Structure 1
């Protein structure tokens, strides 16, 4: 029947299928495998999935008891229903990975808790594909002590994913500015240096990112003559033109710089500012209603950090804040949502260690389907070895065997 159906019709049909079905489809025939793994098909399927808007949230939590990272998908609805559990295949001797960011179903993970070892991975949990990034140019062994931050995002201009690493080398009076900047591109599989062009600011150590309008944003500061911080600002890096920029923070929130973080709230750049005092701890949330215009900063709400609440670290699509709450003397936290209108706190039923939570919007995609696992990661990763669970290796080998067998067989189903 496929002999009489135009290819564009098949593409329209296949791009409507869920991820699990498409993974099975690539074993049907050589022609189906070739079609589904093309960058064009992957992009078309991603666009259709994004438009469908399933409102999924990716949740990462870590248990000190099991020493294991847990990843799961939940519907961003009133009941926070669980959609599926994702099998995490990596192990690290440095306790756990840090999630840098998430874009089009692709996660950037970094094991950078110790400056001697630094492993980064791009991972698509929906199709169980990953790429190990090669060792960056600037390391402790090559340049000595440093502090750094990482950004991850998608460059829509050339349909490529980038990781940017901003490294401030240590000096006797503080940290050097401008920093060393290097970029990894998925299309090339390698790092390259970028000239920061006299960039005078300092991005805080492992500062959390907010990716918006094609740019990565971190909280940074302008160092004084002694090398110390002299007020907060937001540092941006455009993934397209690879240029740094600065956005001024809301008036009165510039000191001290280590009490703030950036996020995205209802498609607006937002700033979360923490205040500790004898009268009670608070967390206030600001949103920049017009991107790049400091005068458009608007205070959204303030949360009193009482009864175990630890602070805002993200948002749901309905505007509710995601927070952590201590639930026992054993320092076990629970993921909760806070409604700024009713001031009600809702338990979302996910627990973990105090610093283990990461939540972000998520869309299932086929990104990396056209690559072999670890294809760009065969270079040494700073001398550090990572272990992969055995069953993933078996499944990967089985998948390759099925595809090979399908290529050797006569395509009785017809060609597209």
Structure 2
């Protein structure tokens, strides 16, 4: 055989096209794919295919360290992670975040709705029915996993019926709320809170008992696949305690606030999850954590089980249940002065696109990265919020 054999260098052109599509391109971040649209017409077409978009999104959701949340802070819409906060939209108008599902964020301003993809800078405006105008807390955002359709649902003020928007046809249809559901939640007080779990919105409803000593809290679910409303099991507790619903590990989770006696200097959080099959599910206590500073407000949970909240100064913080530590998240803005509850939802960047979307220009994006990363430098974590 004599001399040394020369090995042929493998290039990207030698790789099977199917391997490049399934094993390489689906693993790249959305930011890179948006840039690579200009590489060739075939890649531009590929990144618009529903099948590829779905494959890329399914892979992205398995990347737990890339947890992100989207929320409104003052006039800004921010995207928050453990390591950075990005100001994705800075508007002079009053913009509210309705929800976030599979890469799209629903925003509302007066009677105008918008389905917006922060990753691709594309958006589509939707005009709400006149009688539903400016009812941002009665709007839910979901996704039909069977038909691959984004849906908006708008509840009427009396909760007797709703209108549902279909992203594929750009139409609104009327549906009714079952009479037994309406009877069970009549007389309730809305907390202006919507939670999204597994692509379905849940509205929070609460009602005092006849003696006004206890409160019954429940959630009204909109099944985005079946176009049905379902009432979840109620939960009773002392009326002086606050509560929040949120999504943790794809389960509807109830957080009950428990303060010590006057002067309320200690705050504990009791976590309950809704377990079991639909139609036969019960509330199960997970654990109690704390103490936290009074005035802290839970916003959402990361997939890994960490709880994101903001303290009495309006700073975003994260609580790690495993290590029992609290650390502050990076922030581009000062403490919030907005007294209304922050609406915070999980967000996963994707190439999601619906017919009618247009590019949005003129957006300024500012990023604040964490100077210390949690997993690499654990000794720098701060737990100053704990007593």
TM exceeds 0.5?
yes
Question: Is residue 275–residue 283 contact of structure 1 (8 Å, CA) maintained in 2?
Answer: yes
Match of 1:290 in 2: 276
Q: Could you tell me how far 1:365 is from its partner in structure 2?
A: 0.7
- Match among 124, 142, 165 for residue 117 of structure 2: 124
Match of 2:155 in 1: 166
- Match among 52, 72, 84 for residue 79 of structure 2: 72
Match of 1:246 in 2: 231
Gaps (5+ residues) in structure 2?
1-10, 365-387
In the alignment, structure 1 residue 319 sits paired with structure 2 residue 321: no
Question: Is residue 246–residue 300 contact of structure 2 (8 Å, CA) maintained in 1?
Answer: yes
Cα distance in structure 2, aligned partners of 1:372 and 1:205: 33
- TM-score using structure 1 length: 0.69
Q: Residues 312 and 358 of structure 1: is their aligned pair in 2 closer, same or farther, counting only changes over 3 Å?
A: same
Match of 1:345 in 2: 326
Match of 1:17 in 2: 28
Question: Is residue 232–residue 249 contact of structure 1 (8 Å, CA) maintained in 2?
Answer: yes
Q: Residues 70 and 318 of structure 1: is their aligned pair in 2 closer, same or farther, counting only changes over 3 Å?
A: same
Q: Could you tell me how far 1:100 is from its partner in structure 2?
A: 2.2
Cα distance in structure 1, aligned partners of 2:57 and 2:350: 6
Equivalences for residues 128-277 of structure 1 within 5 A: 128-139=121-132, 148-168=137-157, 176=158, 178-198=159-179, 199-200=181-182, 201-202=185-186, 204-205=189-190, 207-221=192-206, 231-250=216-235, 252-253=236-237, 255=239, 259-274=242-257
Q: Residues 217 and 161 of structure 1: is their aligned pair in 2 closer, same or farther, counting only changes over 3 Å?
A: same
Secondary structure class of the residue paired with 2:327: strand
Q: Deviations 1:262-314 (Å, cap 9, x if unpaired)?
A: 111233211123456635255432222335445442152154453x5423222
Question: Is residue 190–residue 206 contact of structure 2 (8 Å, CA) maintained in 1?
Answer: no
Superposition RMSD on alpha carbons, in Å? 3.6
Q: Name the count of aligned residue pairs.
A: 338
In the alignment, structure 1 residue 41 sits paired with structure 2 residue 30: no
Q: Could you tell me how far 1:340 is from its partner in structure 2?
A: 4.8
- TM-score using structure 2 length: 0.73
Q: Could you tell me how far 1:224 is from its partner in structure 2?
A: 9.7
